Amino acid sequence: MLTIFSPHISSRLQYIVTALFKESAVITDNREIYILSEDACINYSDQLINKGIQIHPVAILEETEIKKQDITLSHWQGLPVFFSGSGQIPFDVFAAAFYLLSRYEEYFDHKKDQYGRYDHRNSLAFQHGFLDIPLVDYWILELEKELQKKYPDYKLPERQFVVQPTYDIDIAYRFRHASPFKNIKGYFTDLLMGRFDAFMERSAIYSGKQKDSYDIYEWLDLLHEQYALKPYYFFLVAEKQKGLDRNIDPYTSGMRALIEVHAKKYKVGIHPSIQSNTNENSSKREIQLLAYHAHQQIYYSRQHYLKWQLPETYRQLINKGIRQDHSMGYGAVNGFRASTSHPFPWYDLKNERNTSLQIIPFCYMDSTAMFHERLNAEIAIERMRYFFETVKKVKGVFSYVMHNHFLTEQKEWIMWRNMYETFLKTIHQ
């Protein structure tokens, strides 16, 4: 156990201590109780107490408003830190971790990217070069070492490294289960545009001679079984095909069967459409439709194209019964958006309260490596291995995002398919 003394026990302080230490830490504002404690101790105050290690607090955890913070980076144990102080830990690790996990910086007016999302270039992590590391996780490991100098038996709560595959099913099938009108139109378009490979594939699929190229689900099943993986599948079930929402009609028997089969074996979640961002009723209908096909309540979510904003999106998810969100990552660059690889509860800054929504951050997405970082498959696998090894060191959750339509045997994607299979093989050797 860990005992923390603070004369000001705020909602923010309670949140970050729970997020970092789970149930293995207590906070007290009683000096005598602190002095008599037989646990490892942290004096989180400006008071001089001859016990434990001292961290001088900055004001942010005592505040109840959201305002610009004065942030200057320095270094400790080779790591970037901010909110510096003169304690034995030379910065306010609780305040700095709160700033990053709460995504404090995303509440201010900021430049958006081409899809209307928070642009990663606004972030402290990108601007100061620590987006590639789970900085909060590193801080806490160094804090453990400092505590062990005084309390050799102290250990952080047990953490287990987990490899967590997740798949976004944006386009479940290339041609199969599309409407007759769409396929007839597609035949003529392929001919007129000279896309003879697509014309032949469409014909072969509808004659039963060939499997749909995006139908790689049995291959994925074999990989999961071989390496004892427990994936999440996030299904886009937009009722209208519009803009970036391009999946097949969610009312078709093929889509219904696909969801039903996966719900029996894996965790399935909603992939809320772009349209549902501005239409709460659409979001509700999509969750209900997925639940109907899956024959179960839906508790997991990841926003399509990672289009979300604080606090509105998370509040809507909570209101619809979602318990876990997997959107904490950037679409245009791989890395640790919240500077951690561990799941954590979402803190609603505007309402100043902890919430029931658990955030599962991811650090790697295939489409980001392809289209934004412009990596080839060979370099992408090295990048993926880097994140794997990094998360393994801190015993975090290596959550990554793949798409079925980028793992096909088509000539433009076969290298990525092989890359993924090789990656799973090498990390399980």
Residues 168 and 188 in one domain: no
134 and 251, same structural domain? no
In sequence order, the 6+-apart residues with CB closer than 8 A to the CB of 343 are 324, 358, 359, 360, 361, 397
- Whether 212 and 175 have beta carbons less than 8 Å apart is answered as yes
What is the tens place of the pLDDT at every residue in 122-147?
999 999 999 999 999 999 999 999 99
Residue 69 lies in a domain: yes
Give yes or no for residue 16 having a pLDDT over 90. Answer: yes
Q: How many domains does the chain have?
A: 3
Residue with tokens 């295939």: 366
| Residues 241 and 346 placed together within one structural domain of the fold | yes
Indicate if the pLDDT at residue 213 is higher than 80. yes
- The domain of 235 spans 162-174+212-427
Same domain as 145, residue 71: yes
pLDDT at 200: 63
Please give the pLDDT value at position 87. 86
Give the global pTM: 0.93
Q: Indicate whether 73 belongs to any domain.
A: yes
Structure confidence by residue, pLDDT tens digits, 343-379: 999 999 999 999 999 999 999 999 999 999 999 999 9
Is the same domain home to 289 and 372? yes
What is the per-residue pLDDT for 204? 62
What does the block give as tokens for 365? 């997405």
* 269 and 184 housed in the same domain: no
Q: Are residues 196 and 124 in the same domain?
A: no
Does residue 208 have a pLDDT over 70? no
Closest to 54 in 3D by CA, of 65, 64, 45: 45
Q: Identify the pLDDT of residue 288.
A: 97
Residue 29 in any domain: the answer is yes
User: Would you say residue 20 lies in a domain?
Assistant: yes
Same domain, 245 and 364: yes
In a domain, 157, yes or no: no
> Is the domain of 145 the same as that of 280?
no
Domain-located, residue 382: yes
For residue 187, pLDDT over 60 is answered with: no
CA distance 324 to 302: 9
- Let me know if residue 200 belongs to a domain: yes
Q: Is residue 414 part of a domain?
A: yes
Q: Are 112 and 182 members of one domain?
A: no
